[in-house]
């Protein structure tokens, strides 16, 4: 069985950057991605804070450019779902839904998925009015009334994107203030389609065959209201995709992989980068930075064991 110098698990910005650096260093490198390359960034309508794009860039375009650049240096990319990693073997083994693949080093760059509200109706109406991606589903709600949940930068930015299509937005935020970047807060407050409800929480998502309303509670006085809605878009944070590791690596309280400054885990030859890593800031730029360090660390490790 062929042995890769490096297998990168995850094909988002971190995975593609790691693949670029490793392949350019002439490491035999494979990126495994369970869905589409680009990760969360690819489904982001517009990215304004990634350096080098004066007017901003669509997430899909940025992901496409990253992939093309990495492939130029011979990076291999395959579609596969990783179900386990066997790090106690040398070379290490990555178990996928299509079989096992061997590698001398690993970089875990599996990113994160949107957190759920875990309220009645959320799971039942997913795909029937409940969404976690404005870019994916916004056009289906033309001239409709929707509720958006989450006042962080992602939630406000995606709400602003939705105003291209919808008739109205009620933005529900659990805390007593928006936590988005100031420029995004200003744009939201100046947009006539957006009404902001601070210190509110979603109690339930209601309907028969699809979303018809959302019940919210005012946290200040406990009063409840039913908001008529055709859809609900939820952005309340991200959860690192680390379950497939089956406890083989130490994690923080929310599932982020613990690493040192070199992106190394407690297992020699295993590194982590991007949103799956335990850290406080999760942006495309930080994912790229993590991946650069992780790839260099993996290169030094492989050279030391050959």
Q: Are 53 and 59 in contact (CB under 8 A)?
A: no
CATH number, domain of 66, equals 3.50.50.60
Residues 136 and 228 in one domain: yes
**pLDDT (0 to 100) of residue 40:** 84
Degrees, nearest 5: CA angle 181-183-184:
65
Pairing label, strands 29-33, 3-9: parallel
Residues 146 and 198 in one domain: yes
**pLDDT (0 to 100) of residue 79:** 96
Q: Are 235 and 132 in contact (CB under 8 A)?
A: yes
Residues 218 and 125 in one domain: yes
Please tell me whether the overall predicted TM-score, pTM, comes out greater than 0.75 for this model: yes
Residues 209 and 105 in one domain: no
Active site residues: 133, 136-137
**pLDDT (0 to 100) of residue 238:** 86
Tally the domains of the chain: 2
**pLDDT (0 to 100) of residue 44:** 81
- What the block records as the tokens of 183 is 């420029």
Residues 46 and 138 in one domain: no
Residues 83 and 165 in one domain: no
Residues 263 and 178 in one domain: no
- What the block records as the tokens of 259 is 């690493």
Residues 105 and 120 in one domain: no
Residues 63 and 33 in one domain: yes
For the chain of 306 residues, list the mean pLDDT of each consecutive stretch of 10. 94 98 98 92 86 93 96 97 93 95 98 94 94 88 98 94 97 96 96 98 97 98 97 94 94 96 98 96 94 98 94
**pLDDT (0 to 100) of residue 275:** 95
Residues 103 and 213 in one domain: no
**pLDDT (0 to 100) of residue 136:** 81
Residues 71 and 29 in one domain: yes
> End of a domain among 184, 200, 234?
234
**pLDDT (0 to 100) of residue 167:** 98
Residue in the structure block whose two tokens are 């029937």: 128
Residues 146 and 252 in one domain: no
**pLDDT (0 to 100) of residue 282:** 87
State the Cα–Cα distance between residues 16 and 193, nearest whole angstrom.
Answer: 37
The region that residue 72 occupies, defined by phi over 0 for left and psi between -120 and 50 for alpha, beta otherwise, is alpha
Find the domain containing 89 and state its range.
Answer: 3-113+238-305
> End of a domain among 216, 234, 252?
234
**pLDDT (0 to 100) of residue 295:** 98
> End of a domain among 184, 203, 234?
234
**pLDDT (0 to 100) of residue 273:** 98
State the Cα–Cα distance between residues 194 and 197, nearest whole angstrom.
Answer: 10
């Amino acid at each position: 069985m062929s042995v890769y110098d490096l297998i990168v698990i995850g094909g988002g910005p971190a995975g593609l950057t790691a693949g670029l650096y490793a392949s350019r260093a002439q490491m035999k490198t494979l990126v495994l991605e369970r869905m589409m390359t680009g990760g969360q960034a690819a489904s982001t309508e517009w990215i304004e804070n990634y350096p080098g794009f004066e007017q901003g860039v669509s997430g899909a375009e940025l992901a496409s450019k990253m992939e093309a650049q990495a492939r130029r240096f011979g990076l291999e990319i395959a579609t596969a779902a990783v179900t386990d990693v066997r790090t106690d073997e040398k070379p290490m083994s990555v178990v996928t839904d299509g079989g096992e693949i061997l590698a001398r080093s690993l970089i875990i760059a599996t990113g994160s998925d949107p957190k759920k509200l875990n309220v009645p109706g959320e799971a039942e109406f997913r795909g029937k009015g409940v969404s976690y991606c404005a870019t994916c589903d916004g056009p289906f709600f033309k001239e409709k009334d929707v509720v958006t949940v989450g006042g962080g930068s992602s939630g406000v930015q995606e709400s602003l994107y939705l105003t291209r299509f919808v008739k109205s937005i009620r933005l529900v935020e659990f805390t007593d203030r928006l936590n988005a970047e100031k420029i995004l807060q200003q744009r939201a407050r100046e947009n006539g389609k957006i009404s902001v409800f601070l210190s509110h929480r979603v109690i339930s998502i209601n309907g028969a065959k699809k979303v018809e309303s959302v019940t919210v509670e005012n946290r200040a006085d406990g009063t409840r209201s039913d908001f008529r809605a055709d859809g609900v878009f939820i952005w309340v944070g991200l959860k690192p995709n680390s379950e497939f590791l089956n406890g083989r690596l130490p994690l923080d309280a929310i599932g982020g992989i613990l690493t040192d400054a070199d992106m190394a885990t407690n297992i020699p030859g295993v590194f982590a980068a991007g949103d799956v890593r335990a850290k406080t800031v999760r942006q495309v730029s930080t994912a790229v930075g993590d991946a650069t360090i992780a790839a260099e660390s993996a290169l030094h490790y492989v050279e030391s064991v050959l």
